[in-house]
Structure 1
Amino acid sequence: MPHFNSRAALRATTALIVVASLPIAAIAQDDGDLGTIILGQSKRDVQTDTDVAVTTLDQDEIDDRQGGTVGELIDTVPGVSLVNGSTPQGSGINIRGFGSNSTFGSDQKVAVIVDGASTGAEELYRIGTQLFTDPELYKEVEVIRGTIGSFEYGSGIVGGVVKLESKDASDFTGGVPGLVARETLQFSSNGDGITSSTILAWQPTENFEALFNYTWRKQGVQQDGDGNDISTKGVKLPSYQLKTKYSFGEDNAHAVTFAYSDTSADDRDVPFDTFTTTGIGFGNVDRQTQSRTTVLGYSYNPTGNDLVDLDVTLSYADQDIQSEGVSGQTGTLAALVNADNRYEMTKLTVKNTSLFSTGAIAHNLRSGVELIRKDRLDASSSPGGTDDRIAVFAVDELRFGNGWSVTPALRYERSTITGSTAPNDGTFKNAALMGGVSLRYEFANGLSLFSSAAYTESLPIIDDLGSPAFMTQPEKSRTLEVGAAYSNTDVFAQGDTFSIKGNLYHTRLWDVTSYQASGLPFGTPITEIEVKGLELEASYAMESGIYVDLNANIASGTEYQPGGTTVDWRNVPANGVNLTLGKKFGDELDLSWEVVAQRRYTKSATPTAGFGVHNLRATYRPQQGVLEGMEVRVGVENVFDKQYQRRLSTRAAAGRNVKLTLAKSF
């Protein structure tokens, strides 16, 4: 097993920690001396109280997964598939068959929101998702699947929304004035990875807090289960973040926040095509990437006034990718590989949440307006210009008090796109009214039934300037969903908790401009895309600390071509299931075994083999003694060093990878 030959020190350390944990576990089983078991505590809560298909990962699960990219944090969410995932370059997020693919980093149907700022990716040829940021910066990731929960965040969202919330100083100070430092070190065997995250959290008063986070991540060339390299060179990814908050006024009703994050990479002599492991076809380049996000926020939530809960957010996201060919490329190829891509998005969002009643109906109304400006640098490989938008939205959750709730949602968006350079110049205006409605009924026994219908439009984007006909043809989609959820305690045994939620969905996309027909001459349009599937989430926890988490996804898709020809939709994920079995011993020890399985996919010219991969994880938090406050995490991913490749990925997955994380607050 080649991954371990040069890693004896890490292997010995890992073995020592695992062996040391065994007697602790035995003592806990015999005496129960490791603290009180928290009722119903598994790794992930199932959101059974909403009709939206949403999954939230909290700080504990983010830490437990020890992800090297944001994608690796959410790849067990049903409906989410990664286009490669273990490296920032050439990786992407696909939700319900939309989002990133092996050609472009995005199709604009999956939105990525960082502290309120819209970021993520442009449709850049052969350059991944460009979601350049580090998971160590964040404390929560929320994934909204489908359209019905997306109208607050943008138009044309068919796949879903990924929302990232960064860490706050008060997460470490506990809201008490003082200075807290936290250091996290992570080591990984496959690729000789090392990560250092240093956090300084300062709270001089109860009203003001400031956090500084510097994370440095280094990863060498990883190998698959057969010992083959899955990249050409390693990566060094430094990231830093500054975040402050000042509260003032009566009962601290007012608050001003500021957040700035910066992640960069300097890659030398690497393939232009980030989805491959060689420079064949496009040659190699020197590529410098920098991603910066700035957010200034104001909130006002006066005590005793349920009509006002105001949030004003001004955000700026800047992605800069500088590329220079080093393989002697000429002609059209030289123009492609030497293109510098930069896109900036400035967004002002004003949103208010009001709680009120009209007779027997209770309202939770979220309404707002957005002003958005996107600037994209003109490049030889893609057109540049500006995209100015204004949008208004309203989402009103109406509860009738008898178990029924109805939530209508509306969004109106208007865009003006102006090209910067001929022949891709000119001004084009488009507008759309979109929305949906969901219906939910909750029984007294914890069972709920729900359904929804949603319609959205993807307005033309700057990249469409290269095809003038597309500038007046918004893509349109409709999604229907139906589902059920159940949550209760004392279901199978005294003190247990059980939650389960299932979603059936059907999405239809027409007037397609983001894709061309498969297997037909270049430029042949697609008439329609249809995707349908089932997503299932379940969790079960016993009073003894034993827990089970289950996530499953079944999907299929069809591409309709001119003349009535149909083929399978190229970006639909394979059917898969993730199962986690674990046990918690109070707050001190958490041991778990995870199985990730994918069914063989045969509906393509290159079938993808099925697989089952096993991961082991252990988290140890001493509650007393000299190690009190320290956190030790050991993970073994792909325990049996299996050779496999995920559906939608362009290269094999990493082989066995042992991870060790040490964290301590001072």
Structure 2
Amino acid sequence: MAHNNTPSLIALAVAAGLMSPAFAADKKADEVMVVSGSRMEQKLEDVSAPIAVITSEQIEEQVVSNVADLFRYEPGVSVQGGAGDAQTFTIRGMSENRVKVVQDGVRQNDAYKNGGVGQTYFDTDMIKQIEVAKGPASAAYGSDALGGVIAITTKDAGDFLKGRDSYLDATTGYASSSHQNMAGFTGALRTGDFENLLRYTWRDGGVTQNYDGDKNEFDIVSQAVLFKSKWNFNDDQFLKLTVDYFTEGQDPDAVDLTKAGSVFNQPITDKDTDNVSVVLDHGIALNAAWVDRIDSKVYYARTKQTLDQYASSKYPVNPRNPYVTKNSLDHNGFEQESLGAQVKFSKALDNQRLAWGVEYEHTDNERTRFKAPTVPGDFVGYSELSFPSTTSERSAIWAFDEIKFGERWVLTPGARYEYYKMTPDEDPAYTGDKLQKVSEGELSPKLGLVFKAHEAANLFAQYSHGFKAPMYDNAFSTLNHQAYGYRIEPNPNLKSESSDGIDLGIRGSAGGFSYEVATFYNKFEDFIELAQIGTEGRTAVFEYQNLDKATTKGVEAKADYWLNDLVNVWGNLAYIDGKDGDGNYINSLSPLNGSVGLRLEQPNWNINTALRFADDMDKVRQDAKGNDYIKSAGWGVVDIFAQFKPMQDLQLNVGVFNLFDKEYVSYESITGLAASSSTTNLTEPGRNLSARVKYVF
């Protein structure tokens, strides 16, 4: 892979940097509507905390080809991993299952990164809007919203029809960072009282490559289908069916059983993931004295993944030499099935809007692993469980109230009570008495206040609570690796992790200029960590326990200014700092980072330039031996992307990212590694191109 900055490319970049801009908000705060703050639709200017909004227009303009591309220019939010990885979200340093992901109001699957299961089994092409609620959000969304919420809304038929009775488009594109080809179509049809939508997307590519382009390559093929059918009984009532299906298969170009230490370099032989959800929504406007409308949904969701890979482990072979290192071919499985129901009630009064509701969800979780010998007779194949199959149940009641005092004050109190219960199945290999059900309830309050001092100065403040119920792989771990001198015991006494957050800020707009500055302070308690509780002979015994505390604080700022009808300049910045209860730095926090850009816009085209950057990271904690974990250097890269509409029904999007071909590592990709670790395989892609064509028939 060549990495040469030719004079012509440099000249082009300099010229573009002087004359072209990057993504900017095209709507004012009083025009953007969000629901993630209080579970009812609010103007962004009335929300009492920072909420980031990513629209479908921005997704198209930025030529997004992978979930990791969604938050390129959003400070405080990132996606760990690229195409081919078990991707997870991070908000203000909290990641994986401490961030809740919901799509069309339905909770998405749990992440299980140790087993290769991420949180991003959906296609970006049918996203209408993403809202990111930063900070604790359990009052609105319950367990797992410890650090924030990613709320995804998909498009409906009405978003395409817009007064027409039919719509059809076709798209195709390419992304060089993962050599991905894509194609898809969208069809929408109105017949009588029915509105129907069908979207299909096919992608065929590989892993997101590092700078040198020498990561182990996989052939990654995904298909996504979104079907919606809405029956409008009348102006006051509808029934909508949504079927969302996503499947992805990963096949390696080669298996590499040479070892780096005790681990094979590339042991995976096959990985398949299927994600399906079926949702039935009903809404009715009653306009009664006690309620204006009732919205309800029932849903079924399932995520299933299989992963086949080689492993080298110690196995019991004979009494004289009980543990001998042998190779195995492991068949790993993960399956999560959920069945749930939600009912939401809404009522508007003169200066007040209320929303309240009830929810229930039943989830079955299963993790399987069968270890078979690669050489017949080496050992007898057997099942090994990290944790037994588990049933989880969540029940909740919640309420929010938006109260306006005159034209300037908006008060939004809210609360949620959630009860959860986890019941494990038996594990034949576990002989102890700690495999017991876990149950607990949690009250999550929230209070927000907005003071509209002036059009250019809206002050906001918010207190919010978050919690995360113990995960089944923590509470019910039964992993027994005596051959390696350790085993993990279940802990039925685990408590929920909890967080309390305060946000203070100011936002406003006037004369083409808009801005938002927010400060935050979050306190976390009862973080669950693995701790040694004793020894039995030569075997160390571990257990997950509520051990750690942490505090984080920081500031986030964003602004954009339209110089005239053609030119827009914008920028954002995020800084976060924090330590655990022992005064150690928290490795998962990001360094100072942000982006700035310019945008040229006309009715049929826009051209954008953005500079993304991050400071160096030297605030890292130390390991048990007193050695610093890995640090990172600062970096900055330039992107250019553009959209053209040469004719009414044809749209072209193209982007060149990391234009100057800089080799760099994002700290979020290496956090927690030893200082001596090689980062070559974890560098970001060099200069890469994404392009897309859409034609509307």
Structure-1-length-normalised TM-score: 0.83
Higher strand content, 1 or 2: 2
Letter in 1 for 2:185: T
Return the match for 1:196 from 155, 164, 183: 183
Matching of residue 67 in structure 1 with residue 64 in structure 2: yes
Deviation at 1:444, TM superposition (A): 3.3
Whether the aligned pair in 2 keeps the contact of 1:185 and 1:663 (CA below 8 Å) is yes
Q: Which residue of 2 aligns with 1:469?
A: 491
**How far off its partner does 1:75 sit?**
3.6
Q: What letter is aligned with 1:617?
A: F
**Structure 2: where are the runs of 5+ without partners?**
21-25, 34-42, 317-325, 369-384, 478-488, 533-539, 621-628, 671-681
For residues 459-507 of structure 1, the C-alpha deviation after alignment (integer angstroms, 9 at most, x for no partner) is: 233222225435441222211111111122x2xxxxxx22111111111
Give the aligned residue type for 1:236. Answer: V
* 1:579-590 map, 5 Å: 579-585=596-602, 587-590=603-606
Distance, in Å, in 1 between the alignment partners of 2:227 and 2:596 is: 37
Rounded to whole Å, the distance in 2 between the matches of 1:322 and 1:509 is 34
Change beyond 3 A, Cα 1:68–1:231: farther
Indicate the residue corresponding to 2:665 in structure 1. 645
State the match for 1:661 in structure 2.
692
Quote the residue 1:9 is aligned against. none
Aligned CA distance change for structure 1 residues 470 and 594 (closer, same or farther; 3 Å): farther
* Contact map agreement 1:44 1:539 (CA 8 A) in 2: no
Q: 1:470 to 1:596 in 2, by over 3 A?
A: farther
Alpha-carbon separation, structure 1, partners of 2:327 and 2:516: 51
C-alpha deviation, 1:328, in angstroms: 6.2
Answer whether contact 2:312 2:328 (CA < 8 A) is retained: no
Confirm whether residue 95 of structure 1 aligns to residue 91 of structure 2: yes
Task: Select the residue among 387, 390, 403 that pairs with 1:385.
Answer: 390
1:145, CA displacement in angstroms?
0.8
User: Which of 173, 179, 183 is matched with 2:161 structurally?
Assistant: 173
- What is the match of residue 51 of structure 2? 54
Is 1:283 the counterpart of 2:283 in the alignment? no
Distance change in 2, residues 1:44/1:216 (3 Å): farther
Distance 2:290 2:130 in 1: 27
> Could you tell me how far apart the structure 1 residues matched to 2:359 and 2:305 are?
27
Alignment of 1:386-401 (within 5 A): 386-401=391-406
Aligned twin of 1:599: 615
**1:139 aligned residue:** 128
Query: 1:442-481 counterparts in 2 under 5 A?
Result: 442-463=452-473, 464-466=475-477, 468-469=490-491, 471-481=493-503
Whichever residue aligns with residue 208 of structure 1, its letter is: F
For 1:285 and 1:644, the matched residues in 2 are separated by 30
Residue 175 of structure 1 and its aligned partner are, at CA, apart by: 3.7
Q: 2:204 aligns with which of 203, 209, 218?
A: 218
Q: Pairwise CA RMSD of aligned residues?
A: 3.4
Cα distance between partner residues in 2 of 1:540 and 1:416? 50
Structure 1 Cα separation of the partners of residues 573 and 32 of structure 2: 14
The share of aligned pairs that are identical, in percent, is 22
Change (3 A) 1:335 1:175: farther
- 1:75-111 Cα offsets, whole Å, 9 max, x none, are 4222102222x31523221111111xxxxxx2x2211
> Within 2, Cα distance between the matches of 1:69 and 1:347?
29
Residues 1:204 and 1:514: Cα distance change in structure 2 (over 3 Å): farther
- 1:439 is matched with which residue? 449
Residue type of the alignment partner of 1:353: S
Equivalent pair of 1:633/1:662 in contact (CA under 8 Å): yes
Shift of 1:528: 0.6
User: CA 1:335/1:574 → structure 2, altered by over 3 Å: closer, same or farther?
Assistant: farther
Among 609, 631, 649, the alignment partner of 2:633 is 609
Contact 1:546 1:584 in 2 (8 A): yes
Check the 8 A contact 1:39/1:542 in 2, yes or no. Answer: no
Q: Does 1:118 align with 2:112?
A: no
Corresponding residue pairs, total: 603
Q: 2:654 aligns with which of 621, 634, 642?
A: 634
Structure 1 contact 286–326 (Cα < 8 Å) conserved:
no
The question of whether the paired residues in 2 share the 8 Å contact of 1:116 and 1:295 is answered with no
| Residue 506 (str. 1) matches residue 502 (str. 2) | no
Q: Is this contact kept in 1: 2:32–2:44, CA < 8 A? A: no
- Listed one character per residue, the Cα deviations across residues 171-223 of structure 1 (whole Å, up to 9, x for unaligned) are 2221432x321101111233432111111111123x21111111011223544
Structure 2 equivalent of residue 229 of structure 1: 214
Are 1:241 and 2:226 counterparts?
Answer: yes
SS in structure 1 at match of 2:440: strand
Instruction: Give the whole-Å Cα distance in 2 for the aligned partners of 1:549 and 1:56.
Output: 15
Task: Tell me the secondary structure at the aligned position of residue 527 of structure 2.
Answer: coil
- Does the 8 A contact of 1:47 with 1:55 survive in 2? no
Equivalent residue number for residue 303 of structure 2: 319
Superposed counterparts of 1:222-371, under 5 Å: 222-225=208-211, 227-249=212-234, 252-269=235-252, 280=264, 283-302=267-286, 307-326=291-310, 331=315, 337-357=330-350, 362-371=351-360
Q: Distance in 2 between matches of 1:305 and 1:582?
A: 50
Contact 1:40 1:543 in 2 (8 A): no
- Aligned partners of 2:105, 2:339: CA distance in 1, in Å? 11
- Name the counterpart of 1:163: 151
Give the partner amino acid of 1:614. Answer: V
Q: Provide the rounded CA distance (Å) in 2 between the counterparts of 1:420 and 1:328.
A: 28
Question: What's the TM-score once normalised by structure 2's chain length?
Answer: 0.80
Q: The residue matched to 1:280 in structure 2 has which SS?
A: strand
SS at match of 2:229: strand
Change (3 A) 1:335 1:381: farther
2:112 maps to amino acid: E
For 1:133 and 1:551, the matched residues in 2 are separated by 28
Superposition deviation, residue 452 in structure 1:
1.5
Q: Check if 1:571 corresponds to 2:571.
A: no
Q: Give the 3 Å change call, closer, same or farther, for CA 327–432 of structure 1 in structure 2.
A: closer
SS state of the match for residue 168, structure 1? coil
Q: Is the 1:453–1:480 Cα contact (8 Å) retained in structure 2?
A: yes
The answer to whether the 8 Å contact 1:335/1:381 transfers is: no
User: Secondary structure at the residue paired with 1:211?
Assistant: strand
Shift of 1:431: 0.9
Q: State the AA in 1 paired with 2:210.
A: D
Quote the Cα distance in structure 1 between the aligned partners of 2:118 and 2:446: 28
> CA 1:462–1:256 in structure 2 vs 1: closer, same or farther (change >3 Å)?
same
1:419 is displaced (CA, Å) by 0.3
In structure 2, the residue matched to 1:31 is none
Residue 592 of structure 1 deviates from its aligned partner by 0.6
Structure 1 residue 620 and structure 2 residue 644: aligned?
yes
Opposite residue 348 of structure 1, the aligned amino acid is A
- One-letter amino acid matched to 1:609: A
The CA deviation at 1:161 is 0.8
Tell me how far 1:136 sits from its aligned partner.
Answer: 0.8
- 1:496-531 deviation line (CA, Å, top 9, x unaligned): x221111111111111215769xx997686431211
Shift of 1:228: 3.2
CA separation in 2, counterparts of 1:535 and 1:272? Answer: 44
Q: Distance between the aligned counterparts of 1:551 and 1:247, measured in 2?
A: 42
**CA contact 1:244–1:258 (8 Å) conserved in 2:** yes
Is 1:555 aligned with 2:548?
Answer: no
Instruction: State the secondary structure of the residue aligned to 1:606.
Output: coil
Pair 551,426 (structure 1): closer, same or farther in 2 beyond 3 Å = same
